[in-house]
Amino acid sequence: MRLRLCSLLLLIGFAFSTSVFAQKYEVNPYGGYYWPGNNDGVGEFKNNQVLGVRGGVYVSPNTELGANWAWSNHFQPTSGNAAAAFAGSQGFEQGKARERVLEAEFTYHFGDHKVLGHSFRPYVVVGTGALTTRIKDDEIFVLNVRPITKPCGCIGYTANDVMEGGDHYFTFSYGGGLKATRVWGPMGFFGDFRGRSIPNFFGHGTNWPELSAGLTFSWGER
């Protein structure tokens, strides 16, 4: 909740910062999809949708500083992840896991290109911030287990890698896209493709592609 409030205040701050910068600013709600792929430590995670909002202020005609907040309702191993499936079959807790991302972004636009009377702006973007996990009902998600020898001499299992609500992981994103600005009043459209890296997720790097599209609302002058 605290991180969500901070991200909201950050975006609101960008929206009202025109009084300081006297520049154009944008707010961009969007939806998309990402493909987490395999992690060498904890295996493959589910592909899933992502919803979010980005906002920014132009500090020069082509340069924009902003923030990105994104949310996904499934951040957990696939059904084919053998280690996670085995942990579940042994009765270990595996609550419904979600994740949210909050990043600061730097965007460079390559100028306006007029097509059919509308302005299109290609851009590249880099961002850095944190991915935060949330487990429903304050549970945990046991990703895998390891064998132990019980006092009786028989073999049992104990939790090994455990994902908890409120875990934070450093993220870095990079990519680009295309904006069609002010197609109808302040509203336009954009498409975005980027990669996201989590360099230390349970001791290993995780990288995934992310595709998104949405609306762009622009006010002010660059």
Q: Say yes or no to pLDDT of 108 above 50.
A: yes
Q: Answer yes or no: is pLDDT of 181 > 70.
A: yes
Q: How high is the pLDDT of residue 24? A: 86
Query: Which tens digits make up the pLDDT trace of 62-87?
Result: 999 999 999 999 999 999 999 999 99
pTM of the model: 0.82
How much is the pLDDT for 222? 54
At 151, the pLDDT band (50, 70, 90 cuts) reads: confident
Domains of the chain: 2-75+96-132+168-219 (2.40.160.20)
- Which residues fall within 8 angstroms of residue 54, CB to CB, at 6 or more apart? 26, 27, 28, 30, 66, 67, 68, 69, 105
pLDDT band at residue 117 under the 50/70/90 scheme: low
29-43 pLDDT per residue, tens: 999 999 998 899 999
Q: What is the mean pLDDT of residues 96-102?
A: 96
- Is 1's pLDDT higher than 80? no
